[in-house]
Amino acid sequence: MTPFGQKLRELRRERGLNQKDMAAALGISAAYLSALEHGRRGVPTWAMIQKIIGYFNIIWDDAEELQRLAENSHPRIVIDTSGLSPAATELANILAVSIGRLGEDDIKGLIAQVEKARTRQR
């Protein structure tokens, strides 16, 4: 499951909605909605994200958070390290091999470290 899929499922369940009814309201199939929730589909289009935001009547920070989650929810990411340092290539390869064996606390810690480094670079 992706972060976007998890949030989408939480929103739907909090409101007591089933996939079939929500999908019909959005003009998509229940199978596509299920695939979004389970992370079997890539990042939804901007238009689809806007439909979901409108459907749930989400505003301001919550809408931005849903968009951010969608942007960071591609289930099959490819990291191109061509032109980067050997250390960057090594890091990408270590993550590719190891990510399935890392615990949630380790993953959250790595995310925090990367976010901190990105903030320093701005």
pLDDT of 82 reads 95
The string of pLDDT tens digits covering residues 53-110 is 999 999 899 999 999 999 888 878 889 999 999 999 999 999 999 999 999 999 999 9
Within this chain, do residues 52 and 101 fall inside the same structural domain, yes or no? no
Using alpha carbons only, how large is the chain's radius of gyration in Å?
17
| Residues 4 and 43 sit within 8 Å (Cβ to Cβ) | yes
Domain that holds residue 96: 86-121
Within this chain, do residues 59 and 25 fall inside the same structural domain, yes or no? yes
- 76 domain-assigned: no
Count of domains observed in the chain: 2
pLDDT of 6 reads 93
**Encoding tokens for residue 92?**
């990408």
User: pTM value?
Assistant: 0.72
Residues 22, 56: Cα–Cα separation, whole Å: 10
Among candidate residues 74, 51, 72, 76, the one with its CA nearest the CA of residue 63? 51
pLDDT of 77 reads 84
Residues 24, 6: Cα–Cα separation, whole Å: 20
- 77 domain-assigned: no
Q: Any idea what the CATH number is for the domain that residue 45 is in?
A: 1.10.260.40
- 79 domain-assigned: no
